[in-house]
A and B are shown apart, each in its own frame.
Chain A
Amino acid sequence: MFCVNLGKRGIERREVEGGKNQHRFNAYLSVKKFAQERIAPLVSKMDENSAMDEAVIKDLFDQGLMGIEIDPQYGGTGASFFSSILVIEELAKVDPSVAVLCDIQNTLINTLFVKLGTEAQKECYLPRLSTEMVGSFCLSEAESGSDAFSLKTRAEKHKDYYIINGSKMWISNAEYAGVFLVMANVDPSAGYRGITCFIVDRDTEGLHIGRKENKLGLRASSTCPLNFDNVKVPESNILGKAGQGYKYAIGMLNEGRIGIAAQMVGLAQGCFDQTIPYVQQRVQFGKRIFDFQGMQHQISHVATQLEAARLLTYNAARLKEAGKPFIKEACMAKYFAAEVATLTTSKCIEWMGGVGFTKDYPIEKFYRDCKIGTIYEGTTNIQLTTISKFIDQEYNG
């Protein structure tokens, strides 16, 4: 396994396993440069206005970062899942909102199409998803968050089409998405076995995108409620098989949570990277505040937790890529990384002192952004319960 850490002073430490990782390292440097030069200048404004700059979205597409695992025959980049993880981590160092846009596209939307799409569906959507169209994943509702499968959105079958009625909530990317993957129930009497994944184009009649939420953090990422008012969708728009939606959702979210773990790791690292130089130059009582042992111990503790979170994330990604069981590890990575992000950002504000508490410095934004990590794509409590289920199985003789 290799480990890469480019601190602010440009010190690099890595063990390379050969040509394959060298190339990944180069790719990640390119994304780092792009993020620093093209995204960083816009972060503060996007946060304040609660809006993603459209130039950023276009840039992400132009850089090939929105179709990382899509085959080049469809216009994608043709890279690996691990590459997606590195890209998400790198983007999150600069802006976690941009990272989540990239994460959802790559780990949820694209993966669903690639794994479940018919050739016709792939040809219709993958090229656009690679080059210009954002996708949204619609599972949660006002009355069903963690209890996802109690969703109420209904899809009634008529001949060769379905009529969808209901509403979704907390839908990321909704503001600029061109396509929505909507989980609706075609047969409530079958319980969750009626949940089906539908492809709904943005301009479909009856689909209303509500006003975006005014959020504490990740503000540049649009989060909107959606309303489905007799939305007509052809049968050919079912992704995968009817009634299997619950399986697909679980499967995708297992992978998606590695992406969120990467986002949290990047967030924590980005925050840390901007704090340490301040701590090194701030002088009190005749010495750098970094030189006080109390500070050194806190800083080292946080750095260690960060490193551990990163390794958990990379390990989960490696297991998934190798086709080995990875769900427990993915849950651990997401849960731990979110906790570490909370710890890191909170401590960074303290280390910065008064200026950490002002909007003039980027630290407080990371503090606000990190909180969603313990909530979305499976709350911390859900992760812990899932981990315990695996432990229970493992020790069951």
Chain B
Amino acid sequence: METQNIVHRGSFHSAFPSILSRKIHRALTLPIHSSSKIHSSKWASLKIHCPFYSDTLLTKTNLQCSRKSVDKVKYKGIPDIEEDKPKANIRRKNIAVFVSGGGSNFRSIYEATVDGSVHGDIVVLVTNNHVPQSMYAYDADCGGAEYARDKHIPIIVFPKKKDAQEVFSAEDLVIALRSFKVDFILLAGYLKLIPSELIRAYPKSILNIHPSLLPAFGGKGYYGMKVHKAVIASGARYSGATIHYVDEQYDTGRILAQRVVPVLAKDTAEELAARVLREEHKLYVEVAAALCEERITYREDGVPLIQSKENPNNYR
């Protein structure tokens, strides 16, 4: 093991085993029931492996894992299409979901992981909503967090309030996510801008869903009901949902998938929002399924395409 080499690279490394593990441990809500044993023992074994992470090594492809088989993971930055691998031979992916609010997309994807439509598991929920007095995640106050607790999914609160006792930085978040072996990050109504450290750590692995046909009605300030109000005020006759890769600005990464809905003459913003939300749920589940089954390819001009499951020669 190369513990000694790595410890010197970043100042926080020397404190690694003690501070970081404590921090991350505290930042998580680990479920209380017996099923939690699975998570905590995983955590215990991971503590030893954390020292391999450092800023200079924060890319999946450079990850050097110990020989222990439990950590042997295939990190593919851009999943290649392995056409003749049946689903059983494709590794189940680990998904992190980021929410700020109700989390209906999160619930929809979770149910799909349970019923088998999505060949992966949600291993952690990240949310920015927290209760005034405490940084403890079990006080996190959003619909998504409640549901996650119900389903025994660990929760990380990020970013924390400024007056929190310990600083939980973006780097810490990256380390925490790596400890969960997260393959993909799905933003599902997360209102904070994703820090660039996270984007660099997970290139081409962070997706966001936006309730309009991007590039229309996107960018700073366009979120939630504001989007639908703007669509109606513009007189646009069509709207929809867009899933796109995340880069370092709001709503500007490459578009991966879209669905269209009509905007009717007598629509209120709420009615349009409900119509779009129904499509969002279906779309995100389909995209998550494609992600986990490694059916995403890139066209020559850089546009990501989804290979159809039924007909591998068709792309969407």
Q: Decide whether A and B assemble into one complex.
A: no
